[in-house]
Structures are given as structure tokens and as C-alpha cells.
Amino acid sequence: MRDFANSSHQRKKVAPNKVKIQRKPLDLKKYLRPMKMIASGLVALSLAGGIIYGCYRASKTVTVFSLKAINVSNTTHLTRDEILGLANVEPGRDLLRMNLKRMGEHILQNPWVETVHINRYFPDTISIAITEREPIAIVNMGFIYYLDKKGNVFKVLNNGDKLDFPVVTGFSEEELGSDPKGTKEALEATCLLLKALREKGAFILADVSEIHYDKGYGFTLFTAAGALPVKVGSGDFQAKVERFARIYRDLAVQLPSIHYIDLDYIDKIIVKKS
């Protein structure tokens, strides 16, 4: 191999490339024109966005359909002002933006309210139709509650609430929590017994001071006069009360000497004397 480092051979120098490249002046306008167009577009978008936002803000403050009339159905237990307070509604509100479903939910929080229907009528009216629960008895479950005709325990009694209803005993809040289905069925049966008593002439609810329920046996009535036990059992309440109503007035004079009356038979009544 040759040693090029110690070689005496003279290398030729390569002349540099002396050809000059002619550079054209940079045309900044060519680049600025698109940028101006983009900037103009951004300004236009910004203005349009501002206009849209301004319109939106204006629409939030402009009331197109102002509420003027509020029609409320007649109620027994709730006043008009109480209903409007629950609904949180007053004249001047925007009818279009009112949340009727939420208003109804707030009204339903009152225990007297069973159903509520709210409708809007353009340009300026809403109607609120309420169905109230009606108590048919008082249930003593530790606290004293009203019972409605569908077997619902719906309101704790407060000072001023009416007390002239039959008192139902034998139920408890513990059973209502541990066996809601069974307790509800028994309360519905209580309503059927009350209905039979209310419809059958001679022996009426005014003659009953207490209705006691026993989970194993059924119902026993206690008369207002003398607290006489009248055993009813379970089921067939109409026929049992009808039979008893036919002889009750005749037995009324004998009540002090009667120990109990048993209606829990198909075709007869047992009267047990002291």
C-alpha cells in the first residue's frame, strides 16, 4: 500500500466555484396579503360572536310572555298562597321559561297533595289543579297519622288537625318498614271495613271508637258506647256488617250485659253475655 502522506506527488488545487447566485428581493406583500385576509376573518368572526352573545344576553333579560294570571283549583286543606309558595311562582315571571315539572314536584312535597297538574296557556296564564288526600281514619303507630281511602298513611297530626275520625290500632312503624307490602295490604283492608261501616245504615262509624288490627286474627271493633268488642275477622266485611246492622239497635239496650259480639261466621252472629 502506498504511503500517500510521505508522497512527493503534488496535488492540484481545485479552484473555487466563482459563479454568483442572483437573489431576488423578498416580496413581503405576497405574505402579508393572506395574513390580512385571515386577520380580517378573525375580526369578522369576533364581531359576529359578540353580536350573537349580545343577542343571547338580551334574550335572557327580555320577557316575551309575561305571566299575568294564575288559576288554582279549589282546595280544602291548602290555601292559594300556600300553593303558590310551594310552586315558587308569581306574576311577572317568563311563561316560556317556567319549569312546570319542577313546580309540580315542589307542590307534591306537601302531604295533603295527592296529584297535581300544571298547564301553561299562552300568552299569559298558567293553571294549577290539585287533588287533595282526604283522611278517613287516624292510625296510631307511635305517632298519630291520617289514613286516606287508598290505605296510605300520609300525615302526622299536628295541633289544630281534626280528630273526629275512627282510631285504628295494631299497626307499627317497625312493621311498615320491615313488611311494607303486608302492612299496606292490611291498611287497604282497613279501608274496606271502614267503607262497609260507612254505607250500612243502623250501625255507622259514629258507633265505632276504635278498630284494632291483629296480624293473626284480623279486625275487632270497639263501640263508642261501653267499648264493646265486636269481632269481625278478615274479609267479607259487607255481609258481616249488614247482618250486624239489622240487630244492632235491638242489642243497644243490652250492651251493658254483653261481653262481646262475634261476627266472624258465614250466616250467624254470636252474642256472648257477661
* DSSP string over 14-79: PPP--PPP-PPPP-HHHHHHHHHHHHHHHHHHHHHHHHHHHHHHHHHH--SSB--EEEE---SSS-
Q: What's the angle, vertex CA 253, arms to CA 252 and CA 258, rounded to 5?
A: 75
pLDDT at 195 over 50: yes
CA–CA separation, 13 and 77 (whole Å)? 117
Output the pTM of the full model: 0.72
Q: Provide the residue ranges of all domains of the chain, joining segments of one domain with +.
A: 69-132, 135-273
CB-CB contact of 122 with 66 (8 Å): no
Cell digits of residue 56: 343571547
CB-CB contact of 141 with 172 (8 Å): yes
pLDDT at 50 over 60: yes
Give me the chain's average pLDDT, please. Answer: 85
Q: What integer pLDDT is reported at residue 53 of this predicted model?
A: 59
Question: How many CA atoms within 13 Å lie on the side-chain side of 157?
Answer: 20
Report the length, in residues, of the chain: 274
168 forms bridges with which residues in the sheet?
Answer: 139, 211
Mention every residue, 6+ apart, whose C-beta is less than 8 A from residue 230.
Answer: 220, 221, 222, 223, 244, 260, 261, 262, 263
Q: What integer pLDDT is reported at residue 4 of this predicted model?
A: 46
CA–CA separation, 190 and 216 (whole Å)? 15
What is the percent of the chain with per-residue pLDDT over 70, rounded to a whole number? 76
CATH number of 135-273: 3.40.50.11690
The amino acid present at 5, given as its one-letter code, is A
Q: What integer pLDDT is reported at residue 18 of this predicted model?
A: 52
User: What CATH topology corresponds to 69-132?
Assistant: Ubiquitin-like (UB roll) (3.10.20)
* Domain 69-132 and domain 135-273 have a common topology: no
Q: What integer pLDDT is reported at residue 42 of this predicted model?
A: 65
